Structure 1
């Protein structure tokens, strides 16, 4: 019974990794090519190949280590490349034209 529960957990983990990779692949495909160059984050083709291979490896698991490598590539894309692309493309949510002295609750006036 414990082994069946562990198998179910691994299956759910695999499904979550696949969905995460598919979302990253769609985001990478929708971004403009020039945004990758402007953000200095390799190029669009490289990221599409890496994330596409990740999706295929997750759909047809051969080696767990390949799935882990794909997960790392997906995390790097989502944490590093995607925010840089959003910033270059002007799609950064949460910024309302504030200055560099703005804190999380508004401008910092130095205690004045």
Structure 2
């Protein structure tokens, strides 16, 4: 019984790492390259490569019912570290430099008060 629970928890753990890595990669690719330089972080190309490798490793670390399980678990943990560093440190730093529009959804300036 505990073996089945362990397999399910391990599968969920690796899937969470994969989702984090994909989220970080997609976010990094959507941001403009100038935002990375303006925030004083590594370039967009470097972060895209790091997160692309992290996503691939996380994908290949998912165990056999859904994935290959080709890489050991500690490599999946390294993928999680790369994604978390991006999401916690780089993403908030580049966010002010990559906003689109004026925050009002492109509605333009307001006319008068209430």
Fold match by TM threshold 0.5: yes
Q: Distance in 1 between matches of 2:98 and 2:53?
A: 26
Unaligned runs of at least 5 residues, structure 1:
92-112
Match of 2:41, SS? coil
Identify which of structures 1 and 2 has the higher relative contact order when contacts are C-alpha pairs closer than 8 Å and 6+ apart: 2
* Counterpart for residue 11 of structure 2: 11
* Counterpart for residue 22 of structure 1: 22
* Counterpart for residue 40 of structure 1: 40
Query: How far off its partner does 1:88 sit?
Result: 2.1
Query: How far off its partner does 1:26 sit?
Result: 0.4
Match of 1:51, SS? helix
* Counterpart for residue 89 of structure 1: 98
Q: Distance in 1 between matches of 2:56 and 2:5?
A: 25
Q: Distance in 2 between matches of 1:69 and 1:34?
A: 27
Q: TM-score, normalised by structure 2?
A: 0.76
Q: TM-score, normalised by structure 1?
A: 0.77
Moved over 3 A (4+): none
Match of 2:26, SS? helix
Unaligned runs of at least 5 residues, structure 2:
62-70, 101-114
* Counterpart for residue 60 of structure 1: 60
State how many pairs are aligned. Answer: 92
